Amino acid sequence: MERCYLPEKCEALPNRSCHLYPYRYFICDEHRQISYAVRSSPMARLRSAVAVFSIFCTLTLSAATRIDDPKAFVSDVYRQLIASQSGHDYTPPDDIYSARLAKLFREDRRKAKGEVGCLEILFWVNGQDYVIRDLSVTSADQGPDRKTVTARFMNIDRREEIRFDFLRNGRRWLLDEVHSTSATPWTLSEILKCSQ
């Protein structure tokens, strides 16, 4: 019968497990190798389950924003912006852009080198400050793979109208352009090109 020695206990053991600590044991095999194993208690299993759940939630929260319905998405962004007026912290997602618009945002961030870039406003509200009221959101199809969503609202003391052009990329809608038709009209892609 083979024996192996556990240096922790300095004793010879036959081919069997040795329970040295609660929930931990050593196994000696025929090659005099020591294997370590951990017994799982109910609390250890609970801790593992909580850890797996936490990782799942983190991955879910950091997953790309999926837009199935552009009108519902824009309405939800404004709903959250309105809620943020009373202390709720919210930043609209920035992983919703078409490749063309995403490239313009990346270039603007790169050229700004940590400073404020070309876009000095929160384009969703056409300003830096906002108190949104009287919101209405409508949608119009511009073909099978294009939709325009229009948001009309009062921001502080100004009437705003902002159009969002979405395009379908596979099964996901992406924001391709934003236009303000207010007193001083602008187009988002043109603002992002200010330093070119």
Average pLDDT over residues 183-194: 92
Are residues 81 and 171 located together in one domain of the fold? Answer: yes
Confidence of residue 194 (pLDDT cuts 50, 70, 90): confident
When comparing pLDDT for 87 and 142, which is higher?
A: 142
Handedness of CA 52, 80, 88, 119 (dihedral sign): positive
Are residues 37 and 114 located together in one domain of the fold? Answer: no
When comparing pLDDT for 73 and 28, which is higher?
A: 73
pLDDT for 31 equals 53
Residue carrying the six token digits 């892609």: 189
Contact predicate 181/161, CB 8 Å: yes
Domain enclosing residue 151, as ranges: 70-192
Q: How many domains does the chain have?
A: 2
Contact predicate 156/131, CB 8 Å: yes
pTM, entire model: 0.67
44 pLDDT higher than 90: no
Q: Closest Cα partner for 178 from 94, 116, 91?
A: 94
pLDDT for 171 equals 86
Helix, strand, coil fractions of the chain, as percent rounded to 5: 30, 35, 40
pLDDT for 116 equals 87
pLDDT digits (tens, 9 = 90+) for 97-148: 999 999 999 999 999 888 888 999 999 999 989 999 999 999 999 999 999 9
Are residues 46 and 114 located together in one domain of the fold? Answer: no
pLDDT for 86 equals 82
